Structure 1
Amino acid sequence: MKLIHYLSKRYIIYSACISIIAIPLFYLSLQYLLLGGLDEGMRQQKKWIETQLNTVPAKNFVSFENEITVTPSKQSLKSDVFSSEPIFVKSDNEIVMHRVMLSNVVIKGKNYTIRIQKSMIEDEDLLTNLLLLQSGFILILIIGLGLINVSISKKIWLPFNNIVKKMKGYRVDTSGKLDFMPTKIVEFKDLENSITELINRNNKLYKSQKEFTENASHELQTPIAIFSSKLELLMQTSPISEEQADYINEISLAGKRMQRINKTLLLLTKIENNQFPNIEKIVVKDALNDLIQQYHDTLQMREIHLETEFRDHVEVVANPILIDILLGNLLSNAIKYTEDKKHIQVELSKTFLRISNDAQEGVSGLRESDLFQRFKKQSNHSHSLGLGLEICNKIVSLYHFKITYSFENSKHYFTVFFE
């Protein structure tokens, strides 16, 4: 949920809660004031009636619809009693709510009960109209303030949205200095300054790492190449004893291994630094078929049966070199760790690529916690560097794919999810 929607939603909820409490309170308060006004008017009317009763007999008091009645009473003097009662009105042929006051008075030594009733229909209509008017005003106020809040928030958060947009498109290998939208808000200025400082530091670190990678690639490969060439010349000299030949062979193997480690580590560094910016649409099926064709002789020689099941046409947008490395490492691992005359299966669907192979005898599965970590070898294969799956993991992370491993029915399953 966006922040502006979050704030607007909370604003509307709180406003609605306040309105739900405020409207009934307004209604009750207004009703109390109106009833108080009616009661006060009836008290004044009662005083006038008491004054008139001193000169006019009670039977001479006649009022329209019996709104005022004066009757003899045997009760002693008590305080005034007010109540609201529904009374049928003949002229309107309906029941109308009335405010009624009962009061006992003593006139010339005689007790009388004065009953005064006032129709509340006008007050109720007024109260209803005021309530509807207030509810309408509150609703308009909430909607208006909500729209104003959204409009102001959009303008206020424009610089922040601009920062987010620029950061989404930022790439340390291609982007230069970022120009943010001018703003007068101190917090956004602080954020822009912090991001600018962070970007500058990242650019410096990236340049340093890139220079190191390039220097290491040049400086290390040269002595390794010299070492290998001199070793080959040494092997051609004579006489060489059998013991010396064994030592030279071991040194040669170590040199080749060192050369492979150097190239692999440099490749990992380049992937981490995103030094493969060129991307294009790659048909995964075609890339797999090319790799399978390259391993055709090895598969035939070892009598390994490789089955393919390409259910969907799948395209990925990535660097072709890295995709070849990813698919090549997974396929070569499956071939390397499959015994002769066993099976390998390659499945391709719209959402995933799965490569499975029969496990070697005595193997119950690989340690998943160490599987994609650097130099974590899970076999004693002499040519394994423990970096192949680490490279695969870096590539899938670069393109926001996902790679998983599972072991079922004596088979290893490596699955790359494209979504």
Structure 2
Amino acid sequence: MKLLYRLILRISLALLVILTGWAVFFYVAMINEVNDEVDDSLEDYSEAIIMRALAGEELPSVNNGSNNQYYLTPISEADAHSREQISYKDSMIYILEKAETEPARILTTIFKDANGHYHALTVSTPSIEKMDLKKAILEWIILLYVALLFMIILINAWLFYRNMRPLYVLLNWLDKYRIGHVNEPLQNDTSITEFRKLNEAVIRNAERNEQLFEQQKQFIGNASHEIQTPLAICRNRLEMMMEDESLSEPQLEELVKAHQTLEYITRLNKSLLLLTKIDNGQFVETSELSLNEVLKHYLTDYTEVYAYRNITLEVVEKGVFRIEMNESLATVLLTNLLKNAFVHNVDEGDIRIEITEQNVEFRNTAVDGALDSAHIFERFYQGNKKEGSTGLGLAIADSICRLQHLRLTYRYEEGAHCFLITKL
């Protein structure tokens, strides 16, 4: 999950709890305030009636035209002492003016007149308007709650992205960065100290990796070059020993095995040396070549070598693939792919080579299904281990293509391995 999404999720959960608590508290506070206002008006109404009753003045009409009503009822002293002096409740009352029943807020209070008689005064006011007010308050709270939640999330997301922009620039640069290639310099000016330090650390590590990569290439090249002579001497001595007629058959078999191992090491050494030269850009001489002609030059040799496998070879020329390229690299590229098509094939299988002006495709019968396209061009990767294979053929082909501005891709189609060289 991206950092931005994780931040939004956590902010949303935190705000959901905080704002929900705030909304509930605010709603309860507002409703209590509304009830207090209604209760205050009822108290004022009841006090006016009590004062008139105690003064012996004429009491107002039971309904004063505002839908407020009151009832004055004599009660016994015992009843007066058994009830609360003042109480509030919500109930349904019958409105004479409207001739219908409506919800109302009711206040009941007990008082004693000058003669010592107790009375119960009940005053009521309809609460329909209060219910409408509660509904309106609830709706506005929900609206403001949702709007506030989204606004806070959006503002936080925008601020996060704005402030984290140097990090995204750095990540984008790292995605494009390739060791051993010409990379664009990091352009990531920022006034934030942490990001400046991060940029400096990344640049230092990139420079260090480049140095190590160059040292590695130099070491492989030097080691491979120095190993060639001792390997040649060892092979010659083994060949001379194998010509000795006094050797027994078991001894000769052991020498043959040792010779085969040296042959494998020699091929591996040459491949590593070639890769180093390609990485170092030592093949600078180029000329205009027709890959059609280069391929035809080696087809006969490979057909004769692998004739015992009865593999059918078909070459389809739909155009001439011309390119400005080093001839040695072109030869290595095509022969590696051609050898790969023969070696990683089945007896009596098929090879089809199709050439156009923009593409060269090698298609051969697969042995055990598709290969791992994510790793097939890595050094020493071998999908199906073949005896004597160094695991560097496709890595060399891919390096040559990248050096010569070509693209080498792999796909598995209809039971066949397909390698496609394409002009960029």
TM-score by length of 2: 0.64
Paired AA for residue 333 in structure 1:
V
Note if contact 1:268-1:391 (Cα within 8 Å) is conserved in structure 2. no
Return 5+ residue gaps in structure 2 as ranges. 285-293, 317-328, 354-361, 369-377
Structure 1 residue 22 displacement after superposition: 2.9
Residue 76 of structure 1 corresponds to which residue in structure 2?
79
- TM-superposition CA deviations, 1:225-248 (whole Å, max 9, x none): 67778999x89xxxx86449x98x
Query: What does residue 283 of structure 1 align with?
Result: none
* Unaligned ranges ≥5, structure 1: 279-286, 311-318, 359-371, 405-412
Relative distance call for 1:96 and 1:417 in structure 2 (3 A) is farther
* Per-residue deviation, 1:173: 1.2
Counterpart of 2:390, as a letter, is L
The one-letter code matched in structure 2 to 1:69 is Y
Contact 2:108–2:121 (Cα < 8 Å) also in 1: yes
1:199 to 206, 230, 241: 206
Partner of 1:362: none
Which residue is equivalent to 2:219? 212
d(CA) in 1 for partners of 2:98, 2:282: 91
Residue deviations 1:283-330, cap 9 Å, x none? xxxx9999987643345x42535599x9xxxxxxxx988875774464
Residue 37 in 1 paired to residue 37 in 2?
yes
**What residue in structure 1 maps to residue 357 of structure 2?**
none
Q: State the alpha-carbon separation in 2 of the partners of residues 159 and 13 from structure 1.
A: 27
Contact 1:4 1:154 in 2 (8 A): yes
8 Å Cα contact 1:306-1:346 kept in structure 2: yes
Q: Deviation per CA, 1:93-149, whole angstroms, max 9, x where unpaired?
A: 775432111233333333322111123344444444444444444444334333332
Give 1:302's aligned residue.
308
Question: In the alignment, what sits opposite 1:148?
Answer: 155
1:103 to 75, 88, 109: 109
Say whether the 8 Å CA contact 1:69–1:115 is kept in structure 2: yes
Structure 1 Cα separation of the partners of residues 236 and 40 of structure 2: 118
Question: Which residue of 1 is the match for residue 49 of structure 2?
Answer: 49
Name the CA shift for 1:276/1:215 in 2 (closer, same or farther; >3 Å): closer
Identity of aligned residues (%): 21
* Cα distance, 1:50–1:258 mapped onto 2, change above 3 Å: closer
Q: Distance in 1 between matches of 2:282 and 2:102?
A: 87
Cα deviation for residue 91 of structure 1 reads 4.9
1:63 aligns with 2:63: yes
Q: Does 2:397 match 1:387?
A: no
- Deviations along 1:153-184, one digit per CA (max 9) or x if unpaired, are 22212111111121122122123573341222
SS in 1 for 2:349: strand
SS at match of 2:110: strand
**Aligned 8 A contact 1:101 1:117 in 2:** yes
Letter in 1 for 2:49: I
Structure 1 residues 213 and 69 mapped into 2: Cα distance closer, same or farther (>3 Å)?
same
How far 1:87 moved relative to its partner?
3.8
Aligned pair count reads 362
For residues 340 and 46 of structure 2, the distance between their equivalents in structure 1, rounded to whole angstroms, comes to 103
| Alpha-carbon contact 1:97-1:121 (below 8 Å) kept | yes
Letter of the 1:68 counterpart: Y
User: Residues 373-384 of structure 1: matches in 2 within 5 Å?
Assistant: 384=387
Alignment of 1:129-144 (within 5 A): 129-144=136-151
- Matches for 1:125-274 after TM superposition, within 5 Å: 125-175=132-182, 178-221=185-228, 224=231, 242-243=245-246, 256-266=263-273
Contact 2:221 2:272 in 1 (8 A): no
Which letter maps to 1:104? I
* SS class of match (1:54): helix
- Provide the C-alpha distance between the structure 1 equivalents of 2:384 and 2:74, rounded to a whole number of angstroms: 112
- Pick one of 320, 337, 343 that aligns with 1:333: 343
Q: CA RMSD in A?
A: 5.2
CA contact (8 A) 2:220 2:272 kept: no
Query: Partners in 2 of 1:159 and 1:211 — Cα distance?
Result: 35
Change (3 A) 1:199 1:357: closer
The answer to whether the 8 Å contact 1:4/1:153 transfers is: yes
